[in-house]
Amino acid sequence: MNKTLLITGGNGFIGSNFIHYFLKKYPDYRLINVDKLTYAGSKANLREVESFENYHFIQGDIADESLMKSIFSIYDISGVIHFAAESHVDRSIENATSFIESNVLGTTTLLQAARESWEMKGELATRRFHHISTDEVYGSLGTDGKFNEETPYDPRNPYSASKASANMLVKSFGNTYGMNIVISSSSNNYGPMQHEEKLIPTIISKSLKGEPIPVYGDGKNVRDWLHVQDHCRALDLIFHQANPTETYNIGGGNEVTNIELAMKICDILDHLNPENHSCKELIAFTKDRPGHDSRYAVDDTKLRKKLGWAPTVDLDTGLKNTVEWYVEQWELTTQQSL
């Protein structure tokens, strides 16, 4: 059995964590990682695996049709796990074009290259295309309820609209061509190697620099937080065990408001670096983001019951370990710059 997987966006936050997880668990697989290396992707995230014989990196754009076709021609790709995406809401509000190019055109180009290759091999129904999505495609919740896999898409910003579009395209390839596709949508991820523009790294970095910690609006927007390692375990199960055309939600079961999250992180930082004042004093409420979704929460009952998954990292422990990792990285960077 061929075990060569194409990973897209593997130098990003979730992708790099997944590659570390996957290579450690499955040394018999070969991973081909294609990443454009935009601002959000870093070669440093995968420095430890660069020399592995079963890992190969290709710098490139998934929207590059000739490159995608050549990869499927050169390598006998048995499956795709598609992480690559523009993912920052604020950036999508400022300029939606790059999100359409990457998330919609890029996904289409990748789907087409996979379909043509696998169809020619007569294995379109057996080789798997796993698309990584987000709970943001469902829109916004009130104080009650959760999104489930049957919830209609209702994206509220260009980023989530581009991901909803990509989801629909993936589904269409399953329906039209009989392609073996699966889609997973997760809650907000956190953990090591996340780009500084995201909420948790922003809170930590601003605190360490003694700068104002920006919190949108009144800070009462609610998010469910999922540790990236629990997400990796879920993706592993879905890729290997889910039935074709299935969609799964992945939740962390950790709903907190943004201001509660900032307070938790400040408590950890204050304990690590006790000073005369708390970093909570740095919290500064800023003008709210346009179209800011009130609350996200997913019902992951299907994943728990059908595939036996459950998160193992509780929020307090996960946040503590995450903050400690970023503090250590900040200290190393500071020492190297001296």
DSSP string, 146-204: -B-TTSPP---SHHHHHHHHHHHHHHHHHHHH--EEEEEEE-EEESTT--TTSHHHHHH
Catalytic residue among 136, 149, 224, 300: 136
Catalytic residue among 35, 61, 135, 224: 135
**Residue 251: helix, strand or coil by DSSP?**
coil
Which residues, listed in sequence order, are joined to residue 131 by a DSSP beta bridge?
82, 183
Task: Give residue-wise pLDDT tens across range 318-337.
Answer: 999 999 999 998 776 665 55
* pLDDT number for residue 334: 61
Q: What does pTM read for this prediction?
A: 0.94
For residue 82, the tally of other CB atoms under 10 A from its CB is 25
Annotation marks residue 230 as catalytic: no
CA distance 338 to 335: 5
* pLDDT number for residue 276: 65
Annotation marks residue 136 as catalytic: yes
* pLDDT number for residue 338: 45
Residues of the chain under the 50 pLDDT cut: 1, 338
Task: Give residue-wise pLDDT tens across range 245-256.
Answer: 999 999 999 999
Of 55, 38, 18, 28, nearest to 132 by C-alpha is 18
Annotation marks residue 326 as catalytic: no
CA distance 277 to 257: 23
- CATH code, residues 4-193+226-253+291-313: 3.40.50.720
Name, in order, each residue with C-beta under 8 angstroms of 146's C-beta and a sequence gap of 6 or more: 251, 297, 298, 299
Q: Give the phi and the psi of residue 32 in degrees, each rounded to 5.
A: -105, 115
| Both structure tokens of 75 | 């390598």
* pLDDT number for residue 336: 59
